[in-house]
Amino acid sequence: MPRRCSVCDHPERGAIDAALVEGASYRTIAHQFSLSRYAVGRHAREHLPVHLAAAQEAATAASADDLLAQVETLRQKATRIGDKAEKAGDLRTALQGVRELVRIVELLARLQGELQEAPIVNILLLPEWVQVQTVLLAALAPFPDARAAAAAALVELDGQEAHRG
């Protein structure tokens, strides 16, 4: 059974990790926390990157949560302002508020990964595809059965795309 890391088990592991990140020498850290410098070095190589990655992940998640909270606050504020403007009969400002809400909702959807932004390309409509079909059918001209089968398959492919679109 592998030995447990004495640094990971140390009650002051957070301070040890901080010292490692700050660049303190293994010898200094080992002396300060009553550890062997080999244990400190092993911990720095094998465990610290994992802890740092987890900390970075947590920080990123917290940052994303904070960003979402800020966008939600903006949404609430825009809603309040729009409602106020509408009640005051200022329809121009109310419409601007609605436009801002649309932008905020789009931003929120983008941040949450709910908005598909990738373009959809239908290759069957591209001139290059038409050219490929033409060249293929021309190449198959000496083989009427193969040409007919290829033409039927291409028509079927176009038909399937028409049903999807």
Q: Is residue 51 part of a domain?
A: no
* Same-domain status, 106 and 127: no
Report the chain's terminal Cα–Cα distance, integer Å. Answer: 60
Lowest mean pLDDT among 11-15, 79-83, 100-104, 132-136: 100-104
The pTM (predicted TM-score) of the whole model is 0.36
132 and 106 belong to one structural domain: no
Count of CA atoms in the C-beta half-sphere (13 A) of 161: 12
Q: Give the structural domain span for 160.
A: 123-164
Residue 146 located in a structural domain: yes
The string of pLDDT tens digits covering residues 95-147 is 888 888 888 787 777 766 665 666 777 777 788 888 888 888 899 999 999 98
Residue 54 falls inside a structural domain: no
